[in-house]
Amino acid sequence: MQYAYHLEDLFHGADMDIKEGKLEAAVEKLEQILSEEPTFGKAYNHLGWLNETKFKNFEQAEKYYKLALQYAPEYAAAYKNYAILLSTLQKYDTLKDLLKQALQVPGMDKATIYNEYGILYEQLEQYDTAIKYYKDAAKATMNDKTLQTALDSIKRCNTKMSL
């Protein structure tokens, strides 16, 4: 059990390094975790996020997100992060499969997933379907900011439909 605490401590340290902008230190800690425990899925998620958002290496980010989901299928952050990458890369079929899978994860924030569905269909210019998912997001949230985002998204889609 002490070993698991060691890995979680390293992971927490990497998380703090990311928040403080110490990206090289974070990568070193995450790689150390994976050298000791190659199935530590949360570390893959963080490496995916770093590769996507900081290093702009989308191919590497996708590889890491897939490993995160393989080894930590209950880790909700990996679904959201991977969904954003797939949306950016316009890999819509893969994104649809991922979002469907994400809705089955216990404890998943459904409003977040419905919002990602809305974004997907808005990008595809299927505004009626996008609005349906944005409404689902609005209904599923208890957060005022998330609710406002959903309402703004519905308004945006309605505007686009009138163009």
Q: What is the mean pLDDT of the chain?
A: 97
Compute the distance between CA of residue 15 and CA of residue 69 in angstroms, rounded to an integer.
18
pLDDT at site 4: 76
pLDDT tens digits for 57-85?
999 999 999 999 999 999 999 999 999 99
pLDDT tens digits for 129-138?
999 999 999 9
pLDDT-based confidence at 1, cuts 50/70/90?
low
pLDDT tens digits for 10-53?
999 999 999 999 999 999 999 999 999 999 999 999 999 999 99
pLDDT tens digits for 80-125?
999 999 999 999 999 999 999 999 999 999 999 999 999 999 999 9
Please check whether residue 45 is in contact with residue 81, taking contact to mean a CB–CB distance below 8 angstroms: yes
pLDDT at site 153: 98
Compute the distance between CA of residue 141 and CA of residue 114 in angstroms, rounded to an integer.
10
From the list 43, 24, 25, the residue with the least C-alpha distance to 33 is: 43
Single pTM value for the model = 0.94
From the list 71, 73, 79, 76, the residue with the least C-alpha distance to 37 is: 71
What are the helix (H) ranges across 72-143?
76-88, 92-102, 110-123, 127-140
pLDDT at site 160: 98
pLDDT at site 20: 98
DSSP state of 37: -
